Amino acid sequence: MAAWVKVTEFSVLCISMCKILPLLFIIGALLTFNLCADSIEYQISPTSTPGLYEFDYILTGLTFSQGDELDISFDPTIYGCLGGDPSTPGCGSATASSDFTYMVNQPDNPAGAPGDFYLIANISNPSLAGTFSVDFEYAAGISAADAGDGSQPWTVYDFPADGSLTVTDSGMTVPEPANASLSAVTLLVLGAFALRRRLRGTA
């Protein structure tokens, strides 16, 4: 009888894992698609200054003509100040590769307006390799836990010779795939172990 129970438990676990494996495949496919599509991935890390954090961005698949501008928007209800602005030296710094020039607009200036981290292409078809980062502080009363996952809207603007303004691309920043895949796989593995323990408890 005990042997039959163990075989049944193993069979149920195998069936459950067979249901989970397609989810892993789907997650992997989505992450691969994300790497191939136009995307901006990010990672948030604390700096050596208490209360100051850093956004690091990875640009993938975006195309720029000379003078095109990427605008990453910062919600003024979440973010207090951005680095790289000479008028706010206490807010840290910002960096961009040599093919881009960065500019910063502070959140809530004017009141209620979002902040902006601009990347302006110095040449057509610039390299997307290199470091793109900006330091920031959270708004008063906001902690990292309050801020959510950190995703931000972004827009690419084209400025043709006739002076018009055209949106050529847009989206939301996403966490780096390594972090997302690790979290998803961890959740699935924990779910499999929880199911196994439940089956043992009912055996």
pLDDT for residue 189 is more than 80: no
> Are 70 and 127 in the same domain?
yes
pLDDT for residue 138 is more than 50: yes
> Are 111 and 140 in the same domain?
yes
> Are 124 and 68 in the same domain?
yes
Q: What is the pLDDT of residues 142-181, one digit of tens each?
A: 999 899 899 999 999 998 878 788 999 999 999 987 444 4
Q: Is the N-terminal amide bond of 110 cis, ω within 30° of 0?
A: yes
> Are 165 and 203 in the same domain?
no
Distance of CA 92 to the CA centre of its chain: 20
In the chain, how many domains are there? 2
pLDDT band at 197 (very low <50, low <70, confident <90, very high): low
Q: Which residues of 18-44 are buried (b: 16+ CB within 10 A; e: fewer)?
A: eeeeeeeeebeeeeeebeeeebbbbee
> Are 80 and 49 in the same domain?
yes
Exposed/middle/buried for residue 178 (C-beta within 10 Å: 0-12, 13-18, 19+): exposed
> Are 198 and 164 in the same domain?
no
Q: What is the pLDDT of residues 11-31, one digit of tens each?
A: 544 455 455 545 444 444 444
> Are 14 and 93 in the same domain?
no
> Are 27 and 73 in the same domain?
no
> Are 50 and 115 in the same domain?
yes
> Are 149 and 115 in the same domain?
yes
Per mean pLDDT, which range of 65-74, 97-106, 173-182 is the poorest?
173-182
> Are 14 and 46 in the same domain?
no
> Are 143 and 193 in the same domain?
no
Residue 191 belongs to what domain range? 1-36+176-203
Report pLDDT for 202: 55
**CA max distance for the chain:** 83
CATH number, position 45 = 2.60.40
Half-sphere exposure of 144 (CA within 13 A, CB side): 11
